[in-house]
Amino acid sequence: MNEKRTSKERLYQTFARLGSALANPHRLELLDLLAQAPRTVEELAQEAHMAIANTSQHLQRLRQARLVLHEREGLFVRYRLADPAIAHLWLELRNLAGQQLAEVDRALNAYRPQRHDFEKISMDQLQERMAGDEVVLLDVRPEIEYQAGHLPGAVSIPLDELAQRLGELPPGRLIVAYCRGPYCVFADEALALLAARGWNVARLEEGVAEWRLAGLPLER
């Protein structure tokens, strides 16, 4: 019995390695970024507003738990998720927190104060209206994420370029913006800018990871 108990505890300790690797807000943000596109340490550090040394340490911890993989490209090291299931795990963790913890909604309201200001469109509605050529789907994430995978028919105008590229958007059409999903503020800021300039706008709350989880195809 002692031998079996020791083996069972060793098994659960192995499971706990994943939980321990996930139990850090910075590492969760890195996984969220890698769910959008593979990135170098330097790119991740810039997006997450962390020092390169700290980013590298967090990535090593994720790599030890087999959550991310890396490959060397000349002087740089590029990281990616070790398996698509890890993106699914992150989404499920996030969804569970939203269901069980009231503070998630409060924190989201503080982070996305404009989240209730715009019409929301579902994935099914988007597909119907895209098929009828009724909307322009706008991807406002960084270009590297768009290139790694985007919703079919989406036009890429990163948020920091939008004000200078408004002329590329056709007038009189509904503009539907999306970014990294419901915990991303980029689409809200884009829609606020467009609405102030007279466009009819709506937001798709889901992003690439949610679209993929629903079994829908992406374009590259």
Tens-place pLDDT, residues 16-29: 999 999 999 999 99
- Cα 141 to the chain's mean position, in Å? 9
How far is the C-alpha of 142 from the C-alpha of 215, rounded, in Å?
24
Q: Angle at CA 24, nearest 5°, toward 142 and 181?
A: 35
Per-domain residue ranges of the chain? 2-87, 114-213
User: Rounded to the nearest 5°, which phi and psi values hold at 78?
Assistant: -105, 130
Q: In the structure, what pLDDT confidence band is assigned to residue 73 with cuts at 50, 70 and 90?
A: confident
- Cα 29 to the chain's mean position, in Å? 9
Q: In the structure, what pLDDT confidence band is assigned to residue 1 with cuts at 50, 70 and 90?
A: low
Q: Residue 27: what pLDDT?
A: 98
Inter-residue contact 173 to 202 (CB < 8 Å)? no
* Residue 5, pLDDT above cutoff 70: yes
Question: pLDDT averaged over the chain?
Answer: 95
Inter-residue contact 180 to 186 (CB < 8 Å)? yes
Span between the terminal Cα atoms of the chain, in Å: 54
Q: Residue 4: what pLDDT?
A: 87
Mean pLDDT of 148-155: 97
Mean pLDDT of 3-26: 93
**Cβ neighbour number for residue 172 with a 10 Å cutoff:** 7
CATH number of 2-87: 1.10.10.10
Q: List, for residues 109-118, the tens digit of each pLDDT value.
A: 999 999 999 9
* Catalytic residue status for 179: yes
How far is the C-alpha of 157 from the C-alpha of 203, rounded, in Å?
15
Q: Residue 154: what pLDDT?
A: 97
Residue type at 15 in one-letter notation: F
* Residue 107, pLDDT above cutoff 80: yes
Active-site residue (options: 86, 91, 176, 179): 179
**Cβ neighbour number for residue 204 with a 10 Å cutoff:** 26
**Cβ neighbour number for residue 120 with a 10 Å cutoff:** 13
Mean pLDDT of 212-220: 93
Q: List, for residues 166-176, the tens digit of each pLDDT value.
A: 999 988 899 99
* Residue 181, pLDDT above cutoff 90: yes
Most distant CA atoms of the chain, gap in Å = 74
* Residue 88, pLDDT above cutoff 80: yes
Tell the CATH topology of 114-213: Oxidized Rhodanese; domain 1 (3.40.250)
**Cβ neighbour number for residue 105 with a 10 Å cutoff:** 10
Compare 181 and 73 and report the one with higher pLDDT.
Answer: 181
